[in-house]
């Protein structure tokens, strides 16, 4: 299940070289070419799914288990101080490559990066309203 002209399909299946950290039948983990920090990596399924909306349950489960293993292993090897798992879906959310990928971002006390947002200040009524939209 590959898509023509998808760079992550080509990388995950070995048609384009990458700095691979791990590989099995279903996934490849590579170093990001534009890393946020030292060791920033990407988990790529070998099958093409545009993002989480298309990702089958089994692949989602396996990706998260692999993320956990990689986080523990990389923290041990890199001696980082924390770890962000980031996963963007859709242009509005910052997705730029439309082949599902999970960012593994080692964090260091002095890395100077900020992955964050400006908190809104919703009223109790606004929180209640959005809760209703989601749950009803």
Query: Which positions are annotated as active-site residues?
Result: 101
CA-atom Rg of the chain in angstroms = 17
**Nearer Cβ to ligand AMP (44/80):** 44
Give the nearer residue to ligand AMP in terms of CB position, either 92 or 133. 92
Q: Which stretch binds ligand AMP (CB under 6 A): 31-39, 74-82, 109-117, 118-126?
A: 31-39
Give the footprint of ligand AMP on residues 64-123 (CB under 6 A). 88, 94-97
Which pair of structure tokens corresponds to residue 92?
Answer: 């509005």
Q: Which does 80 bind (CB under 5 to 8 A by kind): ligand AMP, Zn ion, none?
A: none
Sheet holding 102-107, edge to edge: 20-23, 27-31, 41-45, 102-107, 82-86
Give dist(CA 102, CA 67) in Å, integer.
Answer: 8
């Amino acid at each position: 299940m590959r898509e023509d002209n998808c760079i992550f399909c080509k990388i995950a299946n070995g048609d384009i070289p990458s700095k691979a950290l791990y590989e099995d039948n279903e996934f490849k983990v590579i170093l990001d070419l534009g890393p946020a920090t030292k060791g920033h990596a990407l988990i790529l399924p070998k099958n093409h799914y545009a993002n989480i909306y298309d990702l089958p349950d089994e692949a989602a489960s396996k990706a998260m288990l692999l993320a956990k293993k990689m986080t523990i292993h990389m923290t041990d090897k890199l001696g980082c101080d924390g770890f962000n798992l980031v996963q963007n879906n859709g242009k509005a959310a910052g997705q730029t490559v439309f082949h599902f990928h999970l960012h593994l971002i080692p964090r260091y006390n002095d890395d100077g990066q900020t992955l964050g947002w400006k908190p809104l200040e919703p009223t109790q009524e606004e929180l209640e309203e959005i809760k209703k939209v989601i749950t009803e």
